Amino acid sequence: MAHAPQTKITATYMRGGTSKGVFFKLDDLPESARVPGAARDALLMRVIGSPDPYGKQIDGMGAATSSTSKTVIVGKSTQPGHDVDYLFGQVSIDQPFVDWSGNCGNLSAAVGPFAITNGLVDPARVPSNGIAIVRIWQANIKKTIIAHVPITDGAVQETGDFELDGVTFPAAELQLEFMDPAEDGDGGSMFPTGNLVDDLEVPGVGTFKATMINSGIPTIFLNADALGYLGTELQDDINGDAAALARFETIRAHGALRMGLIQKIEEAASRQHTPKVAFVAPPKAYQSSAGKQIGEGDIDVLVRALSMGKLHHAMMGTASVAIATAAAVPGTLVNLAAGGSERDQVCFGHPSGTLRVGAQAQLVDGEWKVTKAIMSRSARVLMEGRVHVPKAGF
C-alpha cells in the first residue's frame, strides 16, 4: 500500500507572554489553507495534535494546555495604516475544532517580532537600534494592536532582564497597546447587558452578581466568595475538582447566552475560547505557584480566570485587558474588589504572581468607552524551521 509523504511547512515556534504557539506566514501555508474553512482547520489541528482523546497532544506541537494549544497566521496587512494582519486560532485539545472567536493577548506580544524577522514590516520602519512600532490588525476581533518592539543592531532583541510572572526566565520587555479594545459598532457595547453588574441566573447552580464585559475578550467576572473561594486559589485547587469545573462551564454558558454571544446554551460547547469566566476578591497575602510570597499590599485585587475549561496558570493577555478596563470603571465587581476608587491602572494577583495593566476609560453620552489598554510582555523564538504534517484534509 502506497503512503504519501508528510507535508513540510515553514513555521516558527514562539513564546509570547505566558503562552506559546506555532506561527505561520500566510503565504507559506498550503494554498487550500490560506483561506478560512475546513482545510485550514484540519491543517492546524493536525499540526497541534488534535483532537486527542488522550488529552496529551503527543503527536503534535501542542502541550495539552489552553496556553499551548495555539496557532497564529500572519500576513501583510490588507488594512490601511497597518503593517500586518494577525489571525489567532485556539485549537481544542480533545474536540475536532478550532475556535476563531477571540484574540490571544499573550501571543500578540510575539506577532511584532515575528513580522519583523520574517520581512513583513517595511525595513525603513525598523531602526538599527531603538524601538520599532509595528501596527497590527487583529483579524479575529477587528481591532488594532500597537507593538513596541526593541531592536538591537538591526534585529529583534529577545534577551533582557524583564521578568514576567508565569515565565521562568527573564527576557526583553515589549509594550503592547490594545487600541479601542471594547466591542463597538453594529449595536455592540462594552457592557452588552447595559449594566455594570447583573444578577446572572444559572439554573441548577444559583444566581450570581456578575460584571459581563467585552473589552480585550468577552469576560464574565464573579465574586470569589459567592463561589466559595478566597481568590488566592492555585491551579490544583480547582483543576482537580471535576464538579467545580462543570459548575464554571455551566456559568460560562449561561453568561455567554446573556451576553448575546450564543443563541442556544448548546453552542457554548463549540465556543470554548470565549467568553472567559473569572472571579475576583479584595487583596490577601498568598504564595504563588512558584513559591513567591505575594503580600496584601503588593496588589490592588485578586483575579483568577479559567481558559478552555481549566484555571489558567497565570492570566490571559486579553483577560488582562478586560481586568484593566473593568477596574477603571467605578461600580464593576473588579473595581469594587480593588477598593472602588477611580484608577487608570491596576496591579492584580494571579496564580503565578502579579501583573500591572492600565486602561483609559471615560463616560461618553452615558456609555463607558475605553480608548486603549496597555501592558508589558516579552516574546522569543523557541524554534524555527519546518513543521511536518501528515496529509489530513487540507
| Catalytic one of 104, 259, 315, 375 | 104
Active site residue 104: yes
Task: Report d(CA 183, CA 48) in Å as an integer.
Answer: 30
Grid coordinates given for 165: 510572572
Helix intervals (H) in the chain: 38-48, 108-117, 235-239, 242-258, 317-328, 333-337
| Catalytic one of 61, 259, 316, 375 | 316
Helix (H) or strand (E) holding 364: strand 353-364
Q: How far is the CA of 96 from the CAs of 48, 64, 78, 194, 353, in angstroms?
A: 11, 14, 30, 35, 33
Q: How far is the CA of 352 from the CAs of 115, 308, 342, in angstroms?
A: 29, 18, 26
Active site residue 316: yes
- Look at residues 286, 301, 294, 369 and name the one whose alpha carbon lies nearest to residue 341: 301
Given a contact cutoff of 8 angstroms between Cβ atoms, the answer to whether 260 and 275 are in contact is no
Count Cβ atoms within 10 A of the Cβ of residue 366 and give its class: 0-12 exposed, 13-18 middle, 19 or more buried.
exposed
User: Which residues are annotated as catalytic?
Assistant: 104, 316
